[in-house]
Structure 1
Amino acid sequence: MGLQPRVVPGADLWVQEHRVEVPLDHDDDSKEGKISVFVREVRKASRSQEELPYLLYLQGGPGFPSPRPTVPLGGWLKAAVERFRVLLLDQRGTGRSTPLQTSEVVDESIVHYRADAIVKDCEVVRQAVCGGQKLTLLGQSFGGFCVLSYVSFFPEAIERAMLTCGLAPVGVGVDDVYRATFRRMEARCAKFYARYPEDIELVRRIVRELRDSPRPTPRGGTLTARRFLQLGLLLGSGAGLESLHDLLEGAKEGITPNFVVAVERAQEAFETNPIYWVLHESIYCCAATQAQPSAWAAERVQAQLGDAWDYSTRLEPGDPPILLTGEMVYSWMGDDYAALRPLAKVAAAVAAKADWGPVYDMDVLRNSPVPTACLVSYDDIYVEREFSERVAALLGPNCRCWITNEFQHSGLRDQPVIFDRLLEMACAYLEF
């Protein structure tokens, strides 16, 4: 289960890898068999003999593995190992955990890859690796959603919780989630075009050319106008406006092969991490709030928003700027992205599924006893601030929020000082 720990030469770094067996279906492990989850334990070598508490990090997504430590350690992880034994979990189906199989069996098994299953995996890890000790949790984005699920189902297992841009819209229906995120995207696009007005006509020209002549991509997919507009996903990070502008510069002389490669590289996570496409909308579906299928909610809501979100109405010079989309996923991605094509039927089945189980327990979350600290980005385009504030009020007096426009959704990665601030907020006093 635990491999031999090692000390990294030339660094004050101690690493041990764990592979923990868990049921695919925690409610019926005899039927579905077993999978494994991979956990990397990281601590300072100079403190490897000390009984420091455990911190479990839950990555954003869904469908993305935990970050890999650098040598020397950097970012929030450098601060965390001063006080904790840090567990970096590859959530089920990601990284070095048992991979998601793109075959017929996925139709039934994919429903076991949501937050409720992830936190039950964490409980197995807590017993197997931590000897049942309480955990400090750190969740980024979807990882914060998982933290709230953990608080719902296993509050006794948690010492304290920290969430960065991941205070989930508990109790909000999926259509309302996307209405809010489209509003945020419209505002972010306006900010982008105000900073780079020359990109208004450049985007329009690219969209017009791709509408008339889609380009093949090196991976075997197709760069269409609708796929190109998904580059708005970049706008949610701290340097996102510059990243998009710099990428668009590659098309000033036309849509070259190098520009197509650059777009595909910017969007490669859709193909390397397919759980994101298949399960993304389901993270907003919960028995308590949505007893109906998501049914490609973003696609449906966008169509209801009229001409502003229909690029075909803005193709003439001087028209209003064309709006780019954000974190939304669409049914047509199973056509435009080559690696997603084998999962198209599975994605359709997930979109049609209505009988989702609970991922939160509202009664447990209400006035939660778990000390909780949250970073909320004021104009986050992925996790709506107003919904986050409602959930903070639901959690009660033990939840403290840091609401700021200083950071975007990538704040934890961009500014490691956030970790220390949240830890201070979550703990009136720490003794290590």
Structure 2
Amino acid sequence: MHTVSQSFVEQGIKYTPKFYTLPLNYSDDSLGNITVFCRELTQADDSDSHKPWLVYLQGGPGFPSPRPNGHSGWLKRALQDYRVLLLDQRGTGHSSVISHQTLAPLTAQQQANYLSHFRADNIVRDAEAIRQQMGVEKWAILGQSYGGFCSLTYLSMFPSSLLRSYITGGVPSIDPNPDTVYQATFERTMDKNQAFFTQFPQAQSLCQRIADHLLSNEEYLPNGQRFTVEQFQQIGINFGMSDSFLPTYYALENALIEVDGKTVMRYEFLDMMFKEQGFQTNPIYAILHESIYCQGFASNWSAERVRQTRPEFNYQSGNHFYFTGEMVFPWMFDQYNCLKPLKQAAQLLAEKQDWGRLYDRAVLAKNTVPVTCAMYADDMFVEMDLSRQTLKHIPNSKAWITNQYEHNGLRADGEHILDTLIAMGNHIASTQY
């Protein structure tokens, strides 16, 4: 069942919002339904009604599909060949949103049980149910980052529903447990740290001064949460994006000020740090982050365990300072105000062992869907070597490996990247017969 909201037109694009009522658990209807939102984008003159559909699978986990503002980037290129469906993955945007507010009425065990249904397998089942209700025979998918993980799950579960698969910065490792992934990403994170501090040598002393100040003084973010060294380190996640070094350095310059002879943190710096904490508004990103790698085993706080083998990331006064990256740690559920109510559920999910399979090696080994991927050689979040190992076992797949972009390449130069992947996919299709 679905409902359609009022369409509107902006810059020649028609936007049609739709809401679908779908099962929480596709194996057990008794658990009730959720609402899944998507937005259809077509040319306003309706001349593209013959075009196939392209479903955009957003990065994350736990963030909604983009709210486009203009006919540009990858969307501009996509609309030349496709009608586009922007899917708010379950739990995000307008799709039965998950937050500390919506989970508050549930016990910790109920929270964990509910959240266990919000991984890639059910995101893909939602998309497949929507495809069937729309009466679409086959469609293409574009997966960015975590959306690429979802794409391989789609190729594993419903390959006959797909025309093409385009993946940007998101070919997952389908075998190793999370420890292998985090060992690689900690190494890439150190590479980014070294590059940053080489470009801005003076930043090391600024970071040490900020960290030492936080160890010796209580500073509070605009929401009343105490700001800590560990939270400060987490802004290193930005190093995975292009053009992030200079803004980070500017922020460090602006961190401290003298007031009546006492050193304090400037309010604008604290406000900036608060706005960096997407975990506050999108808790799925924290609470399910490690589970996206789990298939029949528990994560047991993998990133924290790997971090303890890298003591340089545990700052102590007098030592070098290093930022962390795209990792989730158990202490976050003690420090972040909006994650504190989810601490017990997070522990239960970290200990959960019976996660279902997300990828089917046998199905992927027989793949016939053209799969084209943009792999970023210096990607801080998705290890290129592990991605290449995955593609070795998927026929009709091809990687474009480049160091021209960081993980956010699709946002930085989406029109060119998608154009390249479409051309690669057309070439694969033309050589299949």
TM-score, reference length from structure 1? 0.93
Pairing 1:112–2:138 present: no
Q: How far 1:252 sits from its partner (Å)? A: 4.9
Q: How far 1:132 sits from its partner (Å)? A: 3.1
Can you list the C-alpha shifts for 1:81-103, whole angstroms capped at 9, x where unaligned?
12111000000000011122313
Question: What's the counterpart of residue 94 of structure 1?
Answer: 92
- Do 2:192 and 2:239's aligned partners in 1 also have CA atoms closer than 8 Å? yes
1:271 to 280, 286, 292: 280
TM-score, reference length from structure 2? 0.93
- Do 1:202 and 1:252's aligned partners in 2 also have CA atoms closer than 8 Å? no
Question: What's the counterpart of residue 226 of structure 2?
Answer: 222
Which is worse superposed, 362-371 or 343-352?
Answer: 362-371
Give the gaps of 5 or more residues in structure 2.
258-263
- Do 2:62 and 2:284's aligned partners in 1 also have CA atoms closer than 8 Å? yes
Question: What's the counterpart of residue 368 of structure 2?
Answer: 369
Taking the TM superposition and a 5 Å limit, the aligned residue runs for 1:3-18 are: 3=4, 6-8=7-9, 11-18=11-18
- 2:290 and 2:429 map into 1 onto residues whose CA distance is 38
Taking the TM superposition and a 5 Å limit, the aligned residue runs for 1:239-250 are: 239-250=243-254
| Counterpart amino acid of residue 244 in structure 2 | G
- 2:33 and 2:170 map into 1 onto residues whose CA distance is 29
Question: What's the counterpart of residue 79 of structure 2?
Answer: 81
Can you list the C-alpha shifts for 1:163-212, whole angstroms capped at 9, x where unaligned?
00000111121111111110001111000001111101000111111112
Find the residue that maps to 1:117 and give its secondary structure. Answer: helix
Question: What's the counterpart of residue 286 of structure 1?
Answer: 295
Taking the TM superposition and a 5 Å limit, the aligned residue runs for 1:71-220 are: 72-100=70-98, 101-102=102-103, 103-104=106-107, 105-129=110-134, 131-220=135-224
Can you list the C-alpha shifts for 1:20-76, whole angstroms capped at 9, x where unaligned?
1111011112x2100010000001112356221000000000000000121x32211
- 1:195 and 1:369 map into 2 onto residues whose CA distance is 45
Find the residue that maps to 1:360 and give its secondary structure. Answer: coil
| Counterpart amino acid of residue 68 in structure 2 | P
- 1:309 and 1:202 map into 2 onto residues whose CA distance is 17
| Counterpart amino acid of residue 116 in structure 1 | D
Question: What's the counterpart of residue 303 of structure 1?
Answer: 308
Can you list the C-alpha shifts for 1:282-337, whole angstroms capped at 9, x where unaligned?
001112xxx3x21111111111223x22211xx22xx5x31110000011111221
- 2:383 and 2:336 map into 1 onto residues whose CA distance is 28
- Do 2:42 and 2:48's aligned partners in 1 also have CA atoms closer than 8 Å? no
- 2:250 and 2:22 map into 1 onto residues whose CA distance is 44
| Counterpart amino acid of residue 115 in structure 1 | A
Find the residue that maps to 2:235 and give its secondary structure. Answer: helix
- 2:226 and 2:139 map into 1 onto residues whose CA distance is 45
The percent identity for this pair of structures is: 39
Taking the TM superposition and a 5 Å limit, the aligned residue runs for 1:309-320 are: 309-312=313-316, 315-316=317-318, 319=319
Question: What's the counterpart of residue 261 of structure 2?
Answer: none
Q: How many residues align?
A: 415
Q: How far 1:243 sits from its partner (Å)? A: 2.7
Q: Does the C-alpha gap of structure 1 residues 78 and 5 become closer, same or farther in structure 2, counting only changes over 3 Å?
A: farther
- Do 2:40 and 2:85's aligned partners in 1 also have CA atoms closer than 8 Å? yes
Can you list the C-alpha shifts for 1:132-156, whole angstroms capped at 9, x where unaligned?
3211100000000000000000000
Give the gaps of 5 or more residues in structure 1.
none
Q: How far 1:246 sits from its partner (Å)? A: 2.3
Question: What's the counterpart of residue 401 of structure 2?
Answer: 403
- 2:265 and 2:291 map into 1 onto residues whose CA distance is 35
| Counterpart amino acid of residue 125 in structure 2 | K
- 1:47 and 1:389 map into 2 onto residues whose CA distance is 40
1:262 to 269, 272, 282: 272
- 2:47 and 2:121 map into 1 onto residues whose CA distance is 32
